[in-house]
Amino acid sequence: MKVILQEDVANLGPTGSVHEVADGYGRNFLIPRSLAVLADERNSHRLAHQTRQAAQRQAKVLAVAKDLGAKISGLSLSIKRKAGEEDKLFGSVTNQDIAEALAAQGIAVDRRSIVLADPIRAIGVYQVAVKVHRDVEASVKVFVSRA
């Protein structure tokens, strides 16, 4: 029996792939659990249509992410903190602080998408990476100065 997988199935394959399986496995396990449908002409056309729609949605999301990445790359943020001798900050500048500074500029970014290996603990200029999308990464310049 030929089936088209609707979800990823361990030891069988990813979503959308066509496989030849035993009749009992397909009829008693895969189809009742909506993991697969019969690989007839109607279902094949439906799968092709769903694939095209998903590709169009992904293209739109990627275009929006590229625009947002371009906006972020053109920005420079200024953050003021109290500092002691040798330009060491009392506290630190974290990804939450950078997200708030971006929000003040009118760009809403989740703090988890800001890639900061360690919190910033000294006065200076830093390049901080922002993952806008899994394929789009922007860089923003952060100026940390004495308050």
**What CATH number corresponds to the domain at position 31?**
3.40.5.10
- Segments of the chain with pLDDT less than 50: none
In DSSP terms, which residues pair with 18 in a beta bridge?
Answer: 4
The tens digit of pLDDT for each residue in 60-81 reads: 999 999 999 999 998 999 999 9
- 31 Cβ contact list (under 8 Å, min separation 6): 3, 37, 38
Residue 15 is predicted with a pLDDT of 87
Read off the DSSP letter of residue 147. -
Question: Same domain for 42 and 101?
Answer: no
First to last CA, the chain: 71
Task: Please identify which residue in the block is written with the tokens 């009749």.
Answer: 23
| Domain, as residue range, for 97 | 70-146
Question: Same domain for 25 and 45?
Answer: yes
pTM of the entire structure?
0.70
Question: Same domain for 6 and 60?
Answer: yes
